[in-house]
Amino acid sequence: MSCPYCAAASTRKRSKKTKLGYALFFCPQCRSTFNERTSTPFHYLEVPTDVVLLVVLWRLRYKLSLRDVAEMVLERGFVFTHETVRDWEKRFAPLLADHLRSKRRGQAGKSWYVDETSITVCGKWCSRYRAIDADGNLVDSRLSEKREMDAAKQFFQQALAVVGHAPESVTTDGHRSYPRAVRETRGNEVTHRTNTYLNNRIEQDHRGMKQRYYPMRGFGNVASAVRFCRAFDELRQYVRPRHMEKEMLPLMQQRQLFCERLLALQELMGAVS
């Protein structure tokens, strides 16, 4: 393991470990002692990184309050307050979303279904733009304080940057901002269909966030809403068992895939000690 301070490769592993069980290393060059987590975002935490990641996953994945998550971790012998859960969500949910977002590049289909839904932020209604492809896979999502032309254009530009390729067709509802937004971002290269019934699949897909968002009774500020919604969408897509329309998977295989992807996510985040 290279030294995080001077980048020297000639480090020596010590026989003893930290209180949490992480290996210690010594650098002869700068005379520094460090452990496996020194160069990671989990440095200085007094809880194992796999527990931190599990707390963030529970918070994003299931209908649990901050206090519910803190109580559930008591079974593993870790005592912390609900504010600690809030702090970990604030620090590591964006990191998790960025990792999963980078893995999705180039995987979305060429037929996009775009729509917006409303969520409450600090007592006010905000528009949450989302797009999925023909198989129901996530293209991108974006929270906007207003439902207007500029917000629609910014969403399409962001979606193109995330996915890495342009769609061949875009299906929206009858909102008047979409035709111009599609035309100004992609010109006449994209077939734009405006039909409420064709857009039912994205209307139904909004239920995922709606079901998770209702027990929270809204968000306190725009920053927390953007952070949570983005991480929720990325995690929901990552653990989604079906990536093709009408794909049939037995329940046992679905649970096996979930466990495999959870383990892969732990390794990706450096959470396996």
pLDDT (tens digit, 9 = 90+) per residue, 126-162? Answer: 999 999 999 999 999 999 998 889 999 999 999 999 9
d(CA 242, CA 237): 10
User: What pLDDT score does 270 carry?
Assistant: 65
Are 184 and 153 spatial neighbours (Cβ–Cβ below 8 Å)?
yes
d(CA 45, CA 87): 12
The domain segmentation of the chain, as residue ranges, is 1-39, 43-103+241-273, 111-221
User: What pLDDT score does 232 carry?
Assistant: 94
User: What pLDDT score does 272 carry?
Assistant: 46
User: What pLDDT score does 227 carry?
Assistant: 93
Structure tokens at 149: 């032309």
Q: Does the structure show a pLDDT above 90 at 199?
A: no
pLDDT (tens digit, 9 = 90+) per residue, 210-267? Answer: 888 888 878 889 999 999 999 999 999 999 988 887 788 899 999 999 999 888 888 7
pLDDT (tens digit, 9 = 90+) per residue, 67-102? Answer: 999 999 998 889 999 999 999 999 999 999 999 998
| Nearest by Cα to 234 from 203, 265, 213 | 265
**What torsion do the CA atoms of 45, 51, 2, 35 make, to the nearest 10 degrees?**
50
User: What pLDDT score does 273 carry?
Assistant: 43
d(CA 260, CA 9): 32
**pTM (2 decimals)?**
0.86
d(CA 206, CA 212): 10
- Residue count (the chain): 273
Instruction: Domain 111-221: give its CATH architecture.
Output: 2-Layer Sandwich (3.30)
Average confidence score pLDDT of the chain:
88
Helix (H, G, I), strand (E, B) or coil at 158: helix
Most confident among 29-43, 108-122, 184-198 (mean pLDDT):
108-122
- E strands within the chain? 12-17, 23-27, 32-35, 111-121, 124-133, 138-144, 169-172, 191-194
Spatial CB neighbours of 71, under 8 Å, sequence gap ≥ 6: none
